Structure 1
Amino acid sequence: MARRNGATLGGDGGAQRRASESGPATMRDVAALAGVSISTISHVLNATRTVPEATRDRVAKAIAATGYTQNSVARSLKRAETRTIGIAIGDITNPHFTAVVDGIETAARARGYTVLLVGISESAAREIEGLDALLGRRVDGLILAPSADGGSAVLDRVQRHNVPIVQIDRVASTDYDAVVVANADGARRLVRHVAQCGHRRIGMLTGLPGLSSTRERINGYRAGLRDAGIGYDAKLLECGEYSAAPAARATAALLALADPPSAIFASNNLMTLGAMQAFADRGLDVPRDIALIAFDDFAWTDLFSPHLTTVAQPCREIGATAVRLLLERLAEPGLKPRLVRLPVELRHRRSCGCAADAGPIT
């Protein structure tokens, strides 16, 4: 029996001798004791290929028997890898992005990667500064929510460093992989539903100009109006900049119209908070005085009174999918750019003005 650190493992005589030699255990020792190739050991350790459970068990026992420890620093120098993924997010205080980052970190950790996070505050200058900091740490790849100001020019600048990029939440360039959600479909179904509740004047708090998510949600809003036979009125759109304070001002502007809306669609979670603040400042009750529907569900939605009717995004799935695309890109740099669009879920509660148990929104 081979012996190292007091542990034993069955194997052939040569394997026993190699594993019992003095000095640090090597991957070759583990492979010999487990009766598999060195490449199989690498796949098990780095989760780069599916390995049968029985084989993984043999490898685990061989690792324990030899006392083998991966030297991540040496591996990084040899392969020019750091096993790190950089993340650049516009608003790291937004609960939506918090959940997305959690999905990224969980998926990355499962594949043996760590993550580095920077906030870029929807500013091209901050975006460049943050990305330069990540590139300076020699990250293997980047997951980025492109800023409204930077766009494709910043992506092209980063690409000159030959570091793969996956866009999330919005698409600044179709030349790079991206993971987004069905923005237009979710907005369309939500607006169509509130129209079916009897509302004909439906206002919208729009996001930052220049972002694909803003354009798609506006397109969905307009499609929902068409479905309901309602004409489009540009005066019912106000920019809330995807933030609470600007959204409160935008809501006030909508309410000040000569013919104000009877329902408002807030197209992200922070703008929902801004709209609710504006309603509270004016003593308006939801949904008795005005209906409210929103893009983005968040953890405390059910704590609001009334409970909010929302579009829920699969935040953690966005993060996990971005990690998968990035690692596939690292393994096969020649892949064509891919766009993954994940479905959304409509959660029917009371703020739209109908009973919470009225059934799913179609």
Structure 2
Amino acid sequence: MVTITIKDVAALAGVSVATTSRVLSGNPATSADARSRVQAAVAELDYRPNAQARALRSTRTHAIGLLVPDVRNPFFADLAHTVEQAALVHGFVTLLGNANERKDQQDRYLDNLIARRVDGIIVAPLGDGSGSIRSVVGREIPAVFIDRTIEGIDLPSVTTDSDTGIREAVDHLAALGHTRIGYIAGPQSTSTGRERYASFVRAAGDRGLSLDPALIVFGDFQPESGSAAVRTLLALNEPPTALLVADSPMAFGAIGAIQKLGLRIGTDVALVSFDDIDWLALLDPPVSVIAHSVADMGRIAVDMLRTVIDGGTPESVRLPSRLIIRGSSATPVDPSRSR
């Protein structure tokens, strides 16, 4: 790992270490010229003061960082628990950050984790790889992507092969007679949003199903976007008879909107959600899901990060997905039914 020290900053700024220290601590006993030169050197070197005052990077903190896009999303809450427990077994405590699906908040947490000198970082990233993600890579801080990746950023990752589960879902709905399937997609700024959308389009096309652009609504992995998408899709002159939703929070919103419209899930409209969240199985009817193992994902990510911390280069892992059929999509289309 490349470690930038206060001596590097002082050398670049052309001032003493003591002066540099005073500038960084906000001591007013410094000249405007010195402050300007130190600040410029800090920016050029991407220097981060050690928040815990540890002088040596080689000293392990026995802490790792985990940054997730949204702690309210049950999938990421389960993932955080899995990572935290797996890390603890190996003697690491986990510092959790919530990006709240915002790149600026992601950068703020990453900056803090860098300053705290964590031994490594597991991150489900947002954005295009600019900002603090680049700092993590440039500083050679041990890091692993989980669930999501960023094109052009070469870090080991553990993700899900969504294609199989989505294809199984489309084939299942088509076999029941659904020809117009509405798809509530995730944001195309994320790798999971793009991959699942592409998988749906391929699967629907291969099945000869309608690819009417009006049947696809893009959400933001938040419940309200799922609710809004349902209102849009079911207001069409020729509405879909089935819905496939790209993640569980949007499915929560979709379910609420369907109920408010006075429609019955599984009878008036079929529904399949990505992510096997526990309570989806407890609804009436229980919701069909595309499942993937959050337990395996979290455990593998921790093992991969440990390998990187120890100087290794683990191979990226793609976990399988599969359809679990439940009552929300078990009834064949009734041609005589109209809404």
Equivalent in the alignment of 2:96: 117
- How far the C-alpha of 1:182 sits from its partner, in A, is 1.1
Q: Secondary structure at the match of 1:192?
A: helix
Equivalent in the alignment of 2:150: 172
1:151 aligns with 2:112: no
Equivalent in the alignment of 1:185: 164
Is this contact kept in 2: 1:188–1:222, CA < 8 A?
Answer: no
Q: Secondary structure at the match of 1:257?
A: coil
C-alpha distance in 1 between matches for 2:71 and 2:91: 24
C-alpha distance in 1 between matches for 2:239 and 2:129: 35
- How far the C-alpha of 1:152 sits from its partner, in A, is 5.1
Deviations 1:189-233 (A, max 9, x none): 111111111100000111112111111111221222133222422
C-alpha distance in 2 between matches for 1:151 and 1:249: 30
Equivalent in the alignment of 1:207: 186
Is this contact kept in 2: 1:123–1:150, CA < 8 A?
Answer: no
- How far the C-alpha of 1:78 sits from its partner, in A, is 9.1
TM-score where L is the length of structure 1: 0.73
Equivalent in the alignment of 1:307: 286
* Structure 2 residue identity aligned to 1:99: D
Is this contact kept in 1: 2:184–2:244, CA < 8 A?
Answer: yes
What aligned pairs does 1:135-150 form with structure 2 within 5 A after superposition?
Answer: 135-147=114-126, 149-150=127-128
Is this contact kept in 2: 1:207–1:242, CA < 8 A?
Answer: yes
The counterpart of 1:232, out of the listed 211, 230, 246, is 211
Is this contact kept in 2: 1:86–1:115, CA < 8 A?
Answer: yes
Equivalent in the alignment of 1:353: 330
The counterpart of 1:100, out of the listed 79, 86, 96, is 79
What aligned pairs does 1:2-41 form with structure 2 within 5 A after superposition?
Answer: none
Higher radius of gyration, 1 or 2: 1
- How far the C-alpha of 1:305 sits from its partner, in A, is 0.9
- How far the C-alpha of 1:134 sits from its partner, in A, is 1.2
Is this contact kept in 2: 1:152–1:172, CA < 8 A?
Answer: no
5+ residue gaps, structure 1, are 1-72, 356-362
Equivalent in the alignment of 2:321: 344
Equivalent in the alignment of 1:255: 234
What aligned pairs does 1:70-89 form with structure 2 within 5 A after superposition?
Answer: 79-89=58-68
- How far the C-alpha of 1:166 sits from its partner, in A, is 0.6
C-alpha distance in 1 between matches for 2:144 and 2:286: 35
Q: Secondary structure at the match of 2:329?
A: coil
- How far the C-alpha of 1:114 sits from its partner, in A, is 0.8
C-alpha distance in 1 between matches for 2:100 and 2:79: 16
TM-score where L is the length of structure 2: 0.78
Q: Secondary structure at the match of 1:300?
A: helix
- How far the C-alpha of 1:161 sits from its partner, in A, is 2.7
- How far the C-alpha of 1:253 sits from its partner, in A, is 0.6
1:194 aligns with 2:165: no
- How far the C-alpha of 1:172 sits from its partner, in A, is 0.8
Is this contact kept in 2: 1:176–1:338, CA < 8 A?
Answer: no
Identity, in percent, stands at 33
How large is the RMSD of aligned CA atoms in angstroms? 2.1
* Structure 2 residue identity aligned to 1:114: V
* Structure 2 residue identity aligned to 1:268: D
- How far the C-alpha of 1:251 sits from its partner, in A, is 1.2
Is this contact kept in 2: 1:86–1:141, CA < 8 A?
Answer: yes
Q: Secondary structure at the match of 1:199?
A: coil
* Structure 2 residue identity aligned to 1:354: T
Equivalent in the alignment of 2:35: none
Equivalent in the alignment of 1:64: none
- For the structure 1 residues 315 and 152, does the alpha-carbon distance in structure 2 shift closer, same or farther, using more than 3 Å as the test? farther
Deviations 1:242-268 (A, max 9, x none): 110111011111111121101000110
Alignment length (residue pairs)? 279
Q: Secondary structure at the match of 1:351?
A: helix
- For the structure 1 residues 219 and 99, does the alpha-carbon distance in structure 2 shift closer, same or farther, using more than 3 Å as the test? same
- For the structure 1 residues 249 and 268, does the alpha-carbon distance in structure 2 shift closer, same or farther, using more than 3 Å as the test? same
Deviations 1:311-358 (A, max 9, x none): 11201211111111111111125x2x7321011232111111339xxx
Is this contact kept in 2: 1:101–1:316, CA < 8 A?
Answer: no
- How far the C-alpha of 1:153 sits from its partner, in A, is 4.8
* Structure 1 residue identity aligned to 2:244: F
The counterpart of 1:127, out of the listed 89, 98, 106, is 106
C-alpha distance in 1 between matches for 2:87 and 2:136: 21
Deviations 1:105-142 (A, max 9, x none): 11111111110001111211111101111112110100
1:242 aligns with 2:221: yes
5+ residue gaps, structure 2, are 1-51, 333-339
- For the structure 1 residues 314 and 100, does the alpha-carbon distance in structure 2 shift closer, same or farther, using more than 3 Å as the test? same
